[in-house]
Amino acid sequence: MNKIEFNNEIIPFRDKFCIPKNKNGKELIYFCGNSLGLKPKATDSYILQELNDWANLGVEGHFEAQKPWVDYHKTFSKSLANLIGAEENEVVAMNSLSVNLHLLMVSFYNPQPTKYKILIEQNAFPSDQYIVASQAKFHGYNPNDAIVEIKPEYDRICLTTDVIISTIEQYKNELNLILLGAVNYYTGQAFELKKITEVAQKYDIKVGLDLAHAIGNISLDFKQYPIDFATWCSYKYLNSGPGGVSGVYINKKYFNNYEIKRFEGWWGHDEKERFLMGNVFKPMHGAAAWQLSNAPILSMAAHAASLAIFDEIGIEKLVEQSKKLHLELRNGLEKIILKYNLKIEIITPKAENEHGCQLSILINENGKDLYRCRLAKSKCNSDGTCTTL
């Protein structure tokens, strides 16, 4: 294998993370950042700061902590906006991903008598499937009728942009909403968001994105393709810790829409009047109006530790490096597959704009053994141990 070319600026960043080790103390090569990103070393001091402020200030920490808790969510606006090409008041960190998807569907899924269907990709993440099905039922529809899945052309696993667009065209009069994972969690395919958004908007169909596998992984620019809403989690590519806080994007064109349906809570209320404890909701201007509760400071502290790293290096340099690593891994794997005639298929699309760093492989033979032993040339014993052949 050729030596991988590294951007010199990126090399020192590896040392900012804790790398898990095997039993012999050797650092593992970590391929699971798509499930749980590694812990930045700085996370401890960020959380400790909040624990100390809590210890020393008690309730006064809301206003007097080093980063006052009442405004804590605001510290993320710039970093998050940079990651997706949005404006600062179009994003807010809050809740968790599945919760936010429900909240956003309350606002952006308004089924009409003939225009009530939701389009999703086949093999969407299970939680997303449950969410759209239960939302359809909530509005009185049968999910089998209200939900349309984009199916790949025969013998393919990934969707082509053509098949996505032709499905939209086919259902254009009935579709109310398109909800896509910007990067599919299973195949690692990144969708051509600009083309898809343009077609959807031509037919007055709203577009929402689940960025769980996209934020911190690929370049996103909502200024180029102004979708309606998006949400994500921060514990995958954003390295903000298990169950870490989610975030949402809401297109600014909705900020002056006072008819919009929304589930409301006191943290979305105009902050200048929040503590007057009034009984009529007056929304904040911006995505902040969608907040319900006061912020979970301890998990947000972990989020802050990680986003500081993204701010320092910038997503563009990370994406550039990740493309090189992806290609090198792909080329290396292809050679091994050919040499040993392995029944392994790389399913993530090869085109540079159709993937992030994830590389998905389909193992058509001895998949269980490979999974359990993590070694191509070993076999699983009945007691669960491995023997190298």
For residue 238, the minimal CB distance to ligand PLP (Å) is 12
For residue 213, the minimal CB distance to ligand PLP (Å) is 5
Q: Which is nearer to ligand PLP, 213 or 355 (CB)?
A: 213
Q: Which is nearer to ligand PLP, 96 or 366 (CB)?
A: 96
User: Whole-angstrom Cα distance, residue 95 to residue 13?
Assistant: 29
Q: Which is nearer to ligand PLP, 214 or 287 (CB)?
A: 214
Residues forming contacts to ligand PLP in the complex (CB under 6 A) are 96-98, 125, 127-128, 181, 185, 210, 212-213, 233
User: Whole-angstrom Cα distance, residue 165 to residue 161?
Assistant: 6
For residue 100, the minimal CB distance to ligand PLP (Å) is 8
Q: Which is nearer to ligand PLP, 89 or 107 (CB)?
A: 107
Q: Which is nearer to ligand PLP, 128 or 174 (CB)?
A: 128
Torsion angle, CA of 316/195/149/209, rounded to 10 degrees? 40
Burial track 268-296 (b if 16+ CB lie within 10 A, e otherwise): bbeeeebeeeeeeeebbebbbbbbeeebb
HSE, CB side, 13 Å, CA atoms: give it for residue 126: 0
For residue 241, the minimal CB distance to ligand PLP (Å) is 12
For residue 177, the minimal CB distance to ligand PLP (Å) is 16
Whether 179 and 164 have beta carbons less than 8 Å apart is answered as no
For residue 231, the minimal CB distance to ligand PLP (Å) is 9
DSSP code of residue 122: T
For residue 93, the minimal CB distance to ligand PLP (Å) is 13
* Residue 279 neighbours by CB under 8 Å, 6+ apart: none
Q: CB under 8 Å, gap of 24 or more: what pairs does 346-351 form? A: 347/157, 347/158, 347/187, 347/188, 348/158, 348/187, 348/188, 348/189, 349/158, 349/187, 349/189, 349/190
Using DSSP's 3-state secondary structure scheme, residue 40 falls into: strand
Q: Which is nearer to ligand PLP, 43 or 95 (CB)?
A: 95
User: Which residue from 175, 171, 172, 151 is spatially nearest to 163, judged by alpha carbons?
Assistant: 151
Q: Which is nearer to ligand PLP, 118 or 373 (CB)?
A: 118
